[in-house]
Structure formats: C-alpha cells, structure tokens
Amino acid sequence: MKRSQIILFVIFIVLTTGIFIQLKINQKEQPKTLKTEDNIVFVPVNKIVNKAHTLKLVSYGQVSPNREIMVAFKIQGKLKKGDLSMKPGVRFTTGQILYKLENLDAFYTLAARKSSLSNLIIVSLPDIELDFPDQKDKWIAYLNSISPSSEMPPLPNMSTKEKMFMMNRNVIQEHYNVISMEVRMADYLYTAPFNGTVLDIYAEPGSIVNPGVQIAKIARTDEYEVKVPIQMKDLDAFKGETETHFMNSEGVAIATGKIVRISDVINQQTQSADVYYSVKELDGQKIYNGMFVNVCTNKKETKKSALLPRTAIKNGKVNCLNGTKIKPIEVTIIGTVQDSIYVTGLPDYSSVVLSRMGNIDKKAIYKGIKR
C-alpha cells in the first residue's frame, strides 16, 4: 500500500511539474505601454498687418501725487494717536495732528524752567523799582503772562541801560532758553503739511519710535501730476500744445493739464523722454492716485500701426504665438478708438493672442484658433 502511494505521488509531482513548465513556455509577455498626453492649450489668435493710420498723437501715463513723503520724528518717544486713526486710505487736511509723542517729562521740565525765569524777575523787581521806577509795571505784566501751558510772551521793550541790567540778572538769556525749549516741544507733534491721504503705516500707537525711523507714508491728493513717456520725434508736437486733454481707458475726457517739466534723461531702449504734466479735473470727473490716462493732442500724424483689441495688451506687452510657444513683445500705444488700440512694434504677420493670459506655461504646447 505504501509502495503504491509513493509511486502515485511521484507520478503526480512529475505531471504537475511538466504542466507548469509548459505553461511558462507558452506564456507571452504583455508589454506595458505608457500613454502620454501632451498639454495642449488653445488660444484665440489673429495675424496682423501694419497699415497706415491717420491718428491724433497720443501717449499714456500714470497719475502720481505731486508730493509724497515719509513721516518720521526727530526725537525718540512713545507713539500716541493724533486727531485721527492713521490707516491706509484715511484722508487728512492741513494742520491736523497725525501723531504725537509722549511728552510729560519735557512739559514738566519746561514748566520748571519757566518757574526759574519767573523767580529771576521777582528777585530783580526791587532793584527795577529803584533804578527804573517807570518800568516796573511792564515787568510785572510780563511776569503775570508767563504760564506753563501757554507760549512765552515777547520781552518788553527796553533801553540799553535796562537791557544790560536784565542781562546781568540772566533774565534775557533765560527767556531765550525757555523759547528754545518751547520750539523743541513742537517736535513731539507731527502735523499734516498738506491735504492728503495715508498710503502706508509702519508703526502703531504704543510703539517706541527712534529719530528718523519711518512710521508712515503720506501723499498729497489736491495736486497731482502725470509722468508721460513721449518719443523724441513727437516731443515738439506735445510741447507745442498750450493745453492737453487726458482721457480714461474708455476714451472719456476727465482732465486737462500743461507741461510742468521735461526730463533731460532719454530712455535708450524706447528713445523717449519723460514729460511731467499738471492735472486739473474736469467738472464731474475724479482723478485717483495710480490711475492710467491717455494724453491727447490736436495734431494728427499718419503712422504704420496695428489695430488690436484692448484685451490683447497688458502692461505694454502683447503675447504672440511663435510656433507652439508664446512670446511677449513690447509695443508702443499710439492711439485708441472705442475698445481697440493702435500699437507699433509688431512685425507684419505676427500671430497675436487676442485674450489676456495668466502665467505662461513653458512646457505647454500652444495652438492658435484664428478669429
């Protein structure tokens, strides 16, 4: 029985091994294929051809404050709130107190100095009554007008002899020492030098500020100017205008202005000079800091240019489809009409992307859809 079982087991092992080997031989390997998908982006494009257009000379610029300063103190101290809460965008008027510094120590020191001056006059009154009996009343009036919480009164008129007498008693020297301390007390306040708005804040009330450290940035808002880059060949045409009109992005006139100054430095890349205009708002219009405006003249000129939709240009650049990649090209705006812009700087038959794009993916494959 055992012998037959062993024989059967051996036969089973041999058959199983043979079947396994045969299956392995007949098995075909299935190769693994990786399916890759290209990142294809479709963009609306249009091939442009530069044509001659007769346009009014137009340039563009950005509105900026006539004055923009940093707020800082000349002395050290603990910062305190002024007449209003200083936050970006808050408006203020000339003379308003923007910030204060804690000044109790300085106030009491000044009061003590005024008290010393008063004491010098009181001690001198008996001698004044003897040597200058007719002048006693004016010195008493001067003495009574000295107050810790008010400004020092002016010195009384004195004869040469009387002046020498008061100098010998240190009254005049002490009077000017007190005035000097009063002037320094003004350093504990920062008053608005113009009508304006707060641009930025770098310190809050309760902070300890050091001399010269910037605590805020403010700008004047009742006087603006516009910096306009103008090509050298067009500069004479703009200089010949007695008054210039400013248009917003929709082509609506919003302000007028005149040339204030012209920079002597020329931009070597664009061959343009920076021209600065004063700005005066038209009735019913409003000018804002940072606003872009177009500067128009009454003179016309024929130039070869391309007409593009406003959506095709961003920050003075146009995206062009070069093969399967996007290439930004810098252009110059020379005119506007409704929703379109005339530009120079594009080669003929460039495929211009008609819509604004976000970040350009360098790995993506771009394909144009003609419109």
Written as one string, the DSSP assignment of 186-214 is GGGEEE-SSSEEEEEE---TT-EE-TT--
The pLDDT value recorded for residue 194 is: 92
Q: Across residues 186-211, what is the average pLDDT?
A: 93
- The letter for the amino acid at 218 is I
The pLDDT value recorded for residue 24 is: 64
CA angle 213, 200, 277 (to 5 degrees): 105
Tokens in use for 80? 């305190």
The pLDDT value recorded for residue 60 is: 80
The pLDDT value recorded for residue 311 is: 87
CA angle 132, 136, 139 (to 5 degrees): 120
Greater confidence, 341 or 22? 341
* Cβ atoms 148, 106 nearer than 8 A: no
Provide the β-strand partners of residue 280. 256
Q: With H, G, I as helix, E, B as strand and everything else as coil, classify residue 56.
A: strand
Residue 202 burial (CB < 10 Å; 0-12/13-18/19+)?
A: middle
In which band, very low, low, confident or very high, does the pLDDT at 310 lie, cut at 50, 70 and 90? confident
The pLDDT value recorded for residue 35 is: 41
Whole-angstrom distance, CA of residue 172 vs CA of residue 194: 36
pLDDT digits (tens, 9 = 90+) for 149-191: 888 999 999 999 999 999 999 999 999 999 999 999 889 999 9
Exposure string for 21-55, b = 16+ CB within 10 A, e = fewer: eeeeeeeeeeeeeeeeeeeeeebbbbebebeebeb
The pLDDT value recorded for residue 28 is: 47
Q: Across residues 289-305, what is the average pLDDT?
A: 79
Residue with tokens 């400013």: 246
Tokens in use for 323? 């093969």
Of 91-105, 148-162, 245-259, the one with minimum mean pLDDT is 245-259
Percentage of the chain beyond pLDDT 90 is 41
* Domains of the chain, start order: 46-65+223-370 (2.40.30.170), 68-89+194-220 (no CATH), 104-186 (no CATH)
Q: Across residues 336-363, what is the average pLDDT?
A: 85
Nearest residue to 229 (alpha-carbon basis) of 275, 195, 197: 275
Structure letter (DSSP) for residue 275: E
Report residue 354: phi and psi, to 5°: -85, -15
Greater confidence, 182 or 3? 182
Provide the β-strand partners of residue 266. 273
SS3 string of 283-333? CCCCCCCCCEEEEEEEEEEEEEEEEEEHHHEECCEEEEEECCEEEEEECEE
Contacts 24+ apart (CB under 8 A), 167-171: 169/120, 169/123, 169/124, 170/120, 171/117, 171/120, 171/121, 171/124
Whole-angstrom distance, CA of residue 275 vs CA of residue 224: 14
Mean pLDDT computed over every residue of the chain: 85
The pLDDT value recorded for residue 70 is: 94
- CB proximity list for 137: less than 8 A, separation 6 or greater: none
Q: With H, G, I as helix, E, B as strand and everything else as coil, classify residue 69.
A: strand
Q: Across residues 102-122, what is the average pLDDT?
A: 92
Greater confidence, 71 or 1? 71
pLDDT digits (tens, 9 = 90+) for 16-56: 776 767 666 655 444 443 344 468 889 999 999 998 877 77
- How many CB atoms are closer than 10 A to CB 17? 10
* Cβ atoms 55, 300 nearer than 8 A: yes
Residue spans of beta strands (DSSP E) within 222-287: 224-231, 244-247, 253-257, 259-267, 272-278, 280-281
Whole-angstrom distance, CA of residue 210 vs CA of residue 194: 24
Structure letter (DSSP) for residue 265: E
